[in-house]
Structure 1
Amino acid sequence: MLTLVKNAQLFTPEPRGLCHLLIADQRIAAVLDATEQVNVGALINTLDLEGRRVIPGLVDPLVHYIGGGGEGGFGNRTAELSIEDACASGVTTLIGALGTDALTRTPANLIGKARELAAGGLTTYAYTGSYQLPPVTLTGSVASDILYIPEFIGVGEVAISDHRGSQPNTHELTRLASEARTAGLLAGKSGIVFIHTGDADSHLEPLRQVAKHSAIPLAQFYPTHINRTSALLEDGLRFAREGGRIDFTTSSTPELLAKGEVPASEAVARALRARIAPSQLSLSSDANASLPEFDEQHRFIGLKPGKLSSLFEVLGECINEHHISMEQALRCAATTAADALKLPHKGRLHAGADADFIVLTEGRWAIEQVWALGKPVYGMSTL
């Protein structure tokens, strides 16, 4: 069956005006100007959106599918991501990670959950490894995980400048990046090293040392939490000027903001004012991770869970509060991550791309429908 989605005010992320989307199976077969005549046959389902805005499905490069945390003991473990919450969030491509806990949570758990979410209609990938080195893996090595397990596209989130990490030295980070990069080349994947950045004064310097003393480029690393502090944000802007990509975390708490975290939408606005290209900026939710609070002696105080829905919320803040164009904001919430992770069929709406998109509610910033791989997963059950 073919599906014709008519009269969409389309952002691809570029503004295209009023268009029709022709969907064949899981992909966009054609994007047609709304003035073009379309002969609708008996084998084509049709849906008229009557001018509603349509944007690409969001790409989230950091989601804790199976929960995270536990820094305060077993009573502080966060819950798994539910398929209902995932489908309602507007995120249609998710990349899972372990994080701090690679003891009671495992790569096998992570892949199992990724496949559960994929069975619900979403596109899911994952990072092998966790905060610590040597990395925990499914097959015995980072290289073989990336090469042989379809969902594994890189390694992460590896912690630097954080008291919970294994304090890796330049040699260890270089070897890890080299292994992931080579495996990615062999497998046709990104082989990215996704980096958790803590609040220590070293910031992103460990990554610069790798690039300085080896042939590994800065772009092999993909550091997140760059809006954790103003000082880290400034170092992140420098990192971007040097050729790297940086990622801002959309989940936050009043406590973290009070201690100096920069709201993600403000971080995007500051980066754009600093003339950092949207192709070097992305947003991630850190969904279902713990957002822990520590005192000055790094003693645990408490935590709250990250939320997948925060990515769409921050996208709206970028557009409605900071007056960032829809195109630039969408690049940060979808296209940049897709490019960094070598997923050219994601984060954009054109012929040949996966039919992942969000239909926005008329007149306000809210989700009316979510489509993933050519089928509605939220907001409507049938055409």
Structure 2
Amino acid sequence: MIIIIKNGEVYAPEYIGKMDIVIAGGKIEAIAKSVSVPQDFAKVRVIDAEGKLVFPGFIDAHVHITGGGGEGGFKTRTPEIQLSDIIAGGITTVVGCLGTDGVCRDMNGLLAKARALDEEGISTYIYSGSYQIPVNTITNSCRSDIMLIDKIIGVGEIAISDHRSSQPTYEDFIKVVAEARLGGLLSGKAGIVNVHLGYGERRLQYLVKMVKETEIPIKQVIPTHINRSINLFDAGIEFAKLGGIIDMTTSSDPDHLEEDEVKASRALKMALERGIPVEQIQFTSDGQGSMPIFNKKRELIGLGIGSTKSLYIEVRDAVLKDGVDLEVALKVITSNVATNLKLYNKGVVQEGRDADLVLVNKNDLSIETVFAKGVELVSKGQVLVKGTFEK
């Protein structure tokens, strides 16, 4: 069936005005000021998007799709993510990763879960590896993982500046980045390295040293959790001034924010005010990872689970609460991520690209409709398509 979305105001993510969008075969076939529909053409569905804004489908490039956590013992391992948790937040593309536990969760399971979510209706990719170096792989090399396995587009999340990391030397780290880059070059993929940053005092030292002492381009690495503390955020700003990409994590407990943690929406505003181009900023949710909750005495009082829904919530807050322009804020979960990861069919509303679209209410920016690969998965705020084992 051909679907025509009429009268919506389109952010591609740049604002292009009120347009009609034609969807066929999972692609955006046409975008025009007005598309007429023959009355005798039965296989056309028309959706009136008057009063709605139309966005590209959101991309979440850091999700623990097979679950995360486990740092408080086996009972603290978080469960696998479900399809409805992803699409309810407007996300149509995810990149799955392992975390601290590279033993009980492995690359085979990660790849299988990615393929399952793909079969259920969204687009999926994964990173090779976990916190540790040597890197956990499928083919015994992260370079060949990237080259030979369609869904593997990079390496991560490799942990540095964190007591939970494998404490790799700089030489260990830079060899992984070089392998990932070569795998990307030979396969036409991004080959990026997603770098987990903890609270350690070394912060981004390895990344800055890479820029100063090697020929590897600065955008081959994407440091994440930059907003976990103000000191790390400040170091991230200096890295961005060198030309690097910085990634803000959106999952947090607003009632138990760390004392020096910077909320992602506010971090975006602050980075823009410090002169960082928005194209060098992206958001990821850290969805389904474990989220420790502390009281003011720094005592652990509970565990939560990172939410993929936080990805768009923080963008929305950036616009409605922090005064960031909508088309600027949207880029951190759409076109910027697509560019960084070389996902050329994603992150934009353009003819010939995948029909991943999110329709929101113009007044409060709440999500109403979600299309992934041309299929309506969410309608009027209600999930239409659930995962295989969801009730």
- Whole-Å Cα distance in 2 between the matches of residues 202 and 161 of structure 1? 6
SS at the partner of 1:258? coil
- Whole-Å Cα distance in 1 between the matches of residues 115 and 2 of structure 2? 26
1:153 maps to which residue?
Answer: 153
Map of 1:1-16 to 2, 5 A cutoff? 1-16=1-16
Distance 1:153 1:256, change over 3 A: farther
| Structure 1 stretches of 4+ moved >6 Å | 298-301
CA contact (8 A) 1:174 1:216 kept: no
2:172 maps to which residue?
Answer: 172
SS at the partner of 2:189? coil
How far the C-alpha of 1:210 sits from its partner, in A, is: 1.8
How far the C-alpha of 1:44 sits from its partner, in A, is: 2.6
The residue identity in structure 1 corresponding to 2:76 is N
1:377 maps to which residue?
Answer: 377
How far the C-alpha of 1:368 sits from its partner, in A, is: 0.8
2:330 maps to which residue?
Answer: 330
SS at the partner of 2:227? coil
Structure 2: state its 5+ residue gaps: 386-391
1:291 maps to which residue?
Answer: 291
- Whole-Å Cα distance in 2 between the matches of residues 104 and 65 of structure 1? 14
CA contact (8 A) 2:256 2:294 kept: no
- Whole-Å Cα distance in 2 between the matches of residues 100 and 39 of structure 1? 56
Q: String of CA shifts for 1:138-179, please: whole Å, max 9, x gaps.
A: 121101111111110000000011110012222111111111
The residue identity in structure 2 corresponding to 1:241 is K
The percentage of counterpart residues that share the same residue type is 41
Q: String of CA shifts for 1:102-157, please: whole Å, max 9, x gaps.
A: 11001111111111111111000000001010011112110111111111000000
CA contact (8 A) 2:51 2:361 kept: no
Q: Which moved more, 1:22-31 or 1:42-51?
A: 42-51
2:49 maps to which residue?
Answer: 49
The residue identity in structure 2 corresponding to 1:354 is D
Q: String of CA shifts for 1:227-278, please: whole Å, max 9, x gaps.
A: 0111111110111110110000000124762331100000000001111111
TM-score, length of structure 2 as denominator length: 0.93
SS at the partner of 2:145? helix
CA contact (8 A) 1:56 1:347 kept: yes
2:350 maps to which residue?
Answer: 350
SS at the partner of 1:376? strand
1:280 maps to which residue?
Answer: 280
How far the C-alpha of 1:301 sits from its partner, in A, is: 6.7
CA contact (8 A) 1:169 1:206 kept: no
Q: String of CA shifts for 1:173-206, please: whole Å, max 9, x gaps.
A: 1111111111111111000000001111111111
1:194 maps to which residue?
Answer: 194
- Whole-Å Cα distance in 1 between the matches of residues 258 and 202 of structure 2? 22
How far the C-alpha of 1:45 sits from its partner, in A, is: 2.4
- Whole-Å Cα distance in 2 between the matches of residues 56 and 201 of structure 1? 38
- Whole-Å Cα distance in 2 between the matches of residues 85 and 134 of structure 1? 32
Q: String of CA shifts for 1:42-86, please: whole Å, max 9, x gaps.
A: 343222222311111111110000110100001111111111211
- Whole-Å Cα distance in 2 between the matches of residues 258 and 134 of structure 1? 31
RMSD of equivalent CA atoms: 2.0
- Whole-Å Cα distance in 2 between the matches of residues 67 and 279 of structure 1? 30
SS at the partner of 1:176? helix
CA contact (8 A) 1:356 1:371 kept: yes
Query: How many aligned residue pairs are there?
Result: 380
Map of 1:246-265 to 2, 5 A cutoff? 246-254=246-254, 257-265=257-265
2:318 maps to which residue?
Answer: 318
How far the C-alpha of 1:37 sits from its partner, in A, is: 4.5
Structure 1: state its 5+ residue gaps: none
